[in-house]
Amino acid sequence: MLSAILTVLLQAVAGATVGKLGAALGAGLVAIGTGMGIGKIGASAMEAIARQPEASGDIRSNLIVSAALIEGVAFFAVITCVLVILV
């Protein structure tokens, strides 16, 4: 058990694989977060359109703007993960 812990620590210090593992996990977490966030916006937009179909144009533009803003944050995190892998 002690040797296993030492191996992991040494590899973390060497930085070869654990850094990339962290970056890949991070990108996955970003995907989950973005999916949940934009899913919530989409759901409430659908509900709002169902309640008041004549406002659907307004709702659609607001939906797209909010989705783009959240995706901006997601891409931010993805670029960080890519930088970890490549640099």
Binding footprint of other proteins on the chain (CB under 8 A): 3-5, 7-8, 10-11, 16-17, 61, 64-65, 68-69, 71-73, 75-76, 78-79
For the chain, the three-class secondary structure string (H helix, E strand, C coil) is: CHHHHHHHHHHHHHCCCHHHHHHHHHHHHHHHHHHHHHHHHHHHHHHHHHHCHHHHHHHHHHHHHHHHHHHHHHHHHHHHHHHHHHC
CB of 44 to other proteins, least distance (A): 19
Closer CB to other proteins, 10 or 50, in the complex: 10
CB of 48 to other proteins, least distance (A): 19
